[in-house]
Amino acid sequence: MLIGFGAALFVGSLLGLVSDLIGRKKTCLVFFILHLIVGIWKMVAPSPSFWVANLCLSLATSIFSFSFETWAVVEHDKVDSKPGHRQDILNETFWLMTFFESASLIGSQVIGNWMVGGNLEKGIGSPSIAATLLAILGIACMSRHYDGTTKIMTFKDYRMSFSVYILGDRRIWLLACAQACLHFSIAVFWILWAPTLVADGREAFLGLIYPCLLGARMLGSTVFPWLINASLRTEDCLTCAFVVQALLLSIIAYDYEEIGVLVTQFSLYHACIGLILPLLARLRTMY
């Protein structure tokens, strides 16, 4: 996992720059190609290298975290140039992306467990086959609708724009710190949540708890349109969500709880994630 996080930190950070230079659609194609490489590797190699697969999937996750969102924003700008109407459509897009992302993760777990079945030796390659087919389908769809008319910036123009609009804006720095803190807390959580539940030899059905956490994230994302329509400042909503997250993690860290209480706190934590992700996306478009 450290290899994957390191790749996402040092290499994934540069992929955003590459995406702006070569175009979002090409970067999204790289996302599917990385999944295709991992899927084929697992089917062909008898014992595939874990660190190579983790490296490719971490880079794909980094691309997913920014490329599809920026592509959606660019497409919305082409459709509607009215500022108010554009922001309303983007708000709906952001929380729906978070909602269906969690739903797809739940569905992929169900399909993967069904394909593996009870015979591990016979069904171990089935999830890789499914991932490969989905990657090929994604590449086919992207290639079919790719028009090749994306406006590409030169590196000199990009450097000037980056210095003015990114390095020179304190709000962007604060937003980047907030995003980094969120991803850091998520990474630490996914490393420690299972050992915390099964501490002292306790039995827990982790395969059933995982979909509950993703379902909580889905419910958290549905709160976003209610808060936006309530005329609340996005910054205030984001601050409250981070405070609730910090309190939940503090309780888990300093108070030993039973499994039911821990699962409830974990679910509330993921509900906050489902709310924070579209809030951060909204602030990125506002700034």
pLDDT confidence tier of residue 83, bands split at 50, 70 and 90:
low
The pLDDT value given to residue 148: 52
Does one domain contain both 163 and 195?
Answer: no
Cα separation values, 143 from 29, 48, 214, Å: 8, 29, 31
Does one domain contain both 84 and 187?
Answer: no
Chain segment 114-138, per-residue pLDDT in tens: 776 654 554 445 677 888 888 999 8
Q: Which pTM was predicted?
A: 0.82
The pLDDT value given to residue 70: 83
The pLDDT value given to residue 232: 82
The pLDDT value given to residue 7: 67
Range of the domain at 240: 169-287
Chain segment 151-167, per-residue pLDDT in tens: 566 777 777 877 777 77
The Cα 59–Cα 177 span in angstroms is: 20
Domain boundary among 133, 149, 168: 168
Does one domain contain both 103 and 31?
Answer: yes
Structure-model confidence comparison of residues 112 and 280, the more confident one: 280
What are the structure tokens assigned to 287, written together? 């700034």
The Cα 173–Cα 134 span in angstroms is: 36
Does one domain contain both 144 and 258?
Answer: no
Chain segment 215-273, per-residue pLDDT in tens: 999 999 999 999 888 878 899 999 999 999 999 888 877 766 678 888 899 999 999 99
The pLDDT value given to residue 145: 62
**pLDDT at 5 exceeding the cut of 70:** no
Does one domain contain both 134 and 31?
Answer: yes
Does one domain contain both 107 and 179?
Answer: no
Does one domain contain both 140 and 220?
Answer: no
The pLDDT value given to residue 217: 94
**pLDDT at 146 exceeding the cut of 70:** no
Percent of the chain residues past pLDDT 90, beyond the cut: 20
Mean pLDDT of the chain: 81
Percent of the chain residues past pLDDT 70, beyond the cut: 83
Chain segment 179-192, per-residue pLDDT in tens: 889 988 888 888 88
Domain boundary among 124, 141, 168: 168
Chain segment 24-51, per-residue pLDDT in tens: 788 888 899 998 988 888 877 766 667 7
pLDDT confidence tier of residue 111, bands split at 50, 70 and 90:
confident
What are the structure tokens assigned to 152, written together? 């590409």
Does one domain contain both 173 and 249?
Answer: yes
Does one domain contain both 162 and 274?
Answer: no
Number of C-beta neighbours around residue 91 at 10 A: 20
Does one domain contain both 96 and 125?
Answer: yes
Does one domain contain both 116 and 37?
Answer: yes
What is the tally of structural domains in the chain?
Answer: 2
Backbone angles phi, psi at 82, to 5 degrees: -75, 125
Domain boundary among 121, 153, 168: 168
Does one domain contain both 75 and 96?
Answer: yes
Instruction: Give the DSSP per-residue string, the chain.
Output: -HHHHHHHHHTHHHHHHHHHHH-HHHHHHHHHHHHHHHHHHHHH-SS--HHHHHHHHHHHHHHHHHHHHHHHHHHHHHH---HHHHHHHHHHHHHHHHHHHHHHHHHHHHHHHHHH-S-HHHHTTHHHHHHHHHHHHHHHHHHHT--S------HHHHHHHHIIIIIT-HHHHHHHHHHHHHHHHHHHHHHHHHHHHTGGG----HHHHHHHHHHHHHHHHHHHHHHHHTT--HHHHHHHHHHHHHHHHHHHHHS---HHHHHHHHHHHHHHHHHHHHHHHHHHHH-
